[in-house]
Chain A
Amino acid sequence: MKFMSLGASFLGAMVLSGATYAFAATAYSTTKDIGPSDGINYENYAYIDNTSEIAWSVENTASGGNVPVSYMGSAAHLYEAGGALCAVSGWIYQDFVTNTWPVGVSAACGAGNYYSSGFTRAYNGNGYDTYSTDASGQLYFS
């Protein structure tokens, strides 16, 4: 009985401790459909990995087809849980023909909970259309 009570207390503590855990994990945002830009549909999302401690921003072509060099750009932004911007990758444009463009940024902003929320852009023939990703879930960085 005592063991069961301890088990229940542990599980209760897990629930009460909030929405983040300190084990190795990857947390993703939802994937958004974006575009079309120059007739091409894209999708984007963000994710964070607490093993590498890198925040990623990813853009894909919706069809899986390749696009020319520098048609896609991604900018990863790493935020601490309180909303302060910890690190940015800056805009990184694809330097080869591809259908996916992941860009990540790592930084040492101290232990705590972090999430990824970035931007992607797509060339429209006369400039770039810029889209935000949704925010990933939060993970603990040690």
Chain B
Amino acid sequence: MSFKSTRRISGRALVYVCILTLGAGTGVAVASLSGAAGPRNAVSAVTFPTNQNGQTYGSASKVGLQNEPDLIYAVATNGKKGYIYRSQLWAADGTNVNSPSAAQQYMQQETSTTIPVYDENGTTVIGEFVIPAPSSPEVHTNPSQNS
């Protein structure tokens, strides 16, 4: 095999590598833009660790509403990461609404609610977490006005 043909084969090999790499990169991009982290209901059997007070704690992102841990992993307004009580979140965010008339009344609420962010034991406060009022500027209902 001559040096020239070796170079030609090497060049072709490099082109193939580039094509494969580009293909893989595209695949990653597609996965990034359309992929899901998995059906949340399908992984609702996640078991959470328990703190010294017998409360479960962890991320609520992989579970259904009814399977959320007692203490939900969250970011405080000061940037610290800790846990908010599920019960306090639900009491403030409208989860307990059970009829259209109650929903309409809840939607009139004009003040945001601030709840504490704790360490994993649920006792030491390390920050705050805000549940916005339905009319807060952080809440959007018209995608065409925000993108």
Q: Which residues of A contact B (CB under 8 A)?
A: 1, 4-5, 7-8, 11-12, 14-15, 18-21, 25-30, 32, 49, 51-52, 54, 56, 68-71, 73, 75, 77, 79-80, 82-93, 95, 101-107, 109-110, 115, 117, 119, 123, 127-128, 130-139
Contacts and interface: CB of A to CB of B under 8 A. Distances in A.
Contacts of B140: 54, 56, 89, 102-106
5 contacts: A92-B139, A93-B103, A105-B132, A106-B138, A135-B38
B45 interface: no
Nearest to A7: B18
A26 B33 contact: yes
A84 B74 contact: yes
A32 B133 CA distance: 28
Contacts of B53: none
Interface string B58-98: 11111111100000111100010100100001001111011
Interface residues of B, number: 64
Contact of A19 (B11, B35, B95, B106): B35
B147 A54 contact: yes
A70 B64 CA distance: 22
A34 to B, nearest CB: 10
A21 B38 CA distance: 20
A107 to B, nearest CB: 6
B59 A52 contact: no
B61 A128 contact: no
Given A4-B11, A85-B61, 17 more contacts: A12-B21, A28-B33, A32-B39, A70-B104, A77-B61, A85-B129, A87-B138, A88-B132, A90-B131, A91-B106, A95-B107, A102-B141, A104-B140, A115-B37, A134-B39, A135-B37, A135-B40
B143 interface: yes
